[in-house]
Structure 1
Amino acid sequence: MSGTTRTSAELDVRRRKVLFRAWHRGMREMDLIMGRFADAEIATFSEEDLAEFERLIEVLDRDLLSWITGEAATPENYDTPLFRRLKGFHTHTSPIHV
């Protein structure tokens, strides 16, 4: 898998930027985790979900990956319903084992 599998044509500018950023984080594992989730969910994000996803994108790859894999406890201020959706999506649908 080399990147997004969805078209961004129907997305507003903000969602297009977020989708791009989800696929271009720096660490390939996180590109796949965040990018696949964004591909599947971004069109249905509420404004609150979108803001929370933008906040998650700002987290360092190594920290976010350790929270998703359970290697480190997720800080309370990031343990949100959207983060749990991201973690569950990765756990249940990802062929990526990190």
Structure 2
Amino acid sequence: MSSDLGMRRRRAVWRASHRGTKEMDYLLGQFAEQAVDSMNSEEISVLERLIEMQDPEIELSVYEGYSLGDRDLDTLVSLIREFHGFPGSRK
């Protein structure tokens, strides 16, 4: 199982860094590189779900703090906002 988890972690970092727009590549990729090693399987699942979303949805959530309508995704976006020091985050 640990090799599967390791593969998911590596894949999540790569996907977060290669989404299509430079801004989202940077924001999600930098966060993923820092956080993914401490994530468990469920947390990686949430990251994988976020990575599959369209950039405009993620941008509104990350930049403006809008809810994605899912508590787990909103919690992850809050961590991303805090990591990057966006206004309204706890950092």
Which TM-score band applies after superposition, normalised by the shorter structure? Answer: 0.7 to 0.9
Query: After superposition, what is the alpha-carbon deviation per residue over 1:31-88, rounded to whole angstroms, capped at 9, x for unaligned?
Result: 0000000111010011111000000001111210111110x72232155322211121
Partner in structure 2 of residue 58 of structure 1: 52
TM-score of the aligned structures, taking structure 2 as reference length: 0.78
CA separation in 2, counterparts of 1:17 and 1:66?
Answer: 24
CA separation in 1, counterparts of 2:81 and 2:23?
Answer: 13
1:33 corresponds to 2:27: yes
Match of 2:66 among 70, 73, 81: 73
- Local SS of the residue matching 1:80: helix
TM-score of the aligned structures, taking structure 1 as reference length: 0.73
- Local SS of the residue matching 1:76: coil
Partner in structure 2 of residue 48 of structure 1: 42
Structure 1: give runs of 5+ residues left out of the alignment. Answer: 1-10, 93-98
* Residues 36 and 44 in structure 2, CA contact (< 8 A), matched pair in contact too: yes
RMSD (Å) for aligned C-alpha atoms: 1.8
Query: After superposition, what is the alpha-carbon deviation per residue over 1:11-36, rounded to whole angstroms, capped at 9, x for unaligned?
Result: 81111111110110000000000000
**Per residue, is there more helix in 1 or in 2?**
2
Partner in structure 1 of residue 18 of structure 2: 24
Structure 2: give runs of 5+ residues left out of the alignment. Answer: 87-91
Identity %: 31
Equivalent pairs counted in the alignment come to 81
